[in-house]
Amino acid sequence: MYRCFLAFIAALLVTGSAAAQSLRNFPPDALRGTIQVLQSPEVALNGKPARLGAGTRIFGVDNLIKVPASLAGTKYVVNYTLDNQGFVHKVWILSATEAAKKPWPTTTAEAQAWRFDVVAQVWAKP
């Protein structure tokens, strides 16, 4: 009986984590781009030099936090936010389904001009 209960709880956790992967919500200030970790905290953001800020969090496709050194050398399609000083603050490595959601702003000017539906997680151009 105890083992059945543990198996049931494990199944719920696995199902819950799979559902969480497809339901990630991104903040309205998240921009789309590419990132490549060079030598932490140095990164190439959209092909240009950038730095990870103190306390930067990088979320993998599984929504677990990744260590920047483990991602070194590979280019990823991401949504990201910047802090007030221009450092990379949060990064979400996108799944193929998430990356297919278009349009998504790539600059702050686009994000300010477009309209974001937080519930549907889609952008609309004016």
What pLDDT score was predicted for residue 20?
A: 44
Q: Is the preceding omega at residue 68 within 30 degrees of 0, hence cis? A: no
Q: Name the burial class of residue 91, with classes exposed (0-12), middle (13-18) and buried (19+) by CB atoms within 10 angstroms of its CB.
A: buried
pLDDT digits (tens, 9 = 90+) for 16-43: 444 444 579 999 999 999 999 999 899 9
Asked if residue 76 lies in contact with residue 43, where contact means CB atoms within 8 angstroms, the answer is no
pTM of the model: 0.80
Q: What is the mean pLDDT of the chain?
A: 88
Asked if residue 91 lies in contact with residue 35, where contact means CB atoms within 8 angstroms, the answer is yes
Strand partners for 32: 79
CATH number assigned to the domain covering 25-124? 2.40.50
What pLDDT score was predicted for residue 24?
A: 95
pLDDT digits (tens, 9 = 90+) for 88-99: 999 999 999 999
Banded pLDDT at 2 (limits 50, 70, 90): low
Asked if residue 79 lies in contact with residue 31, where contact means CB atoms within 8 angstroms, the answer is yes
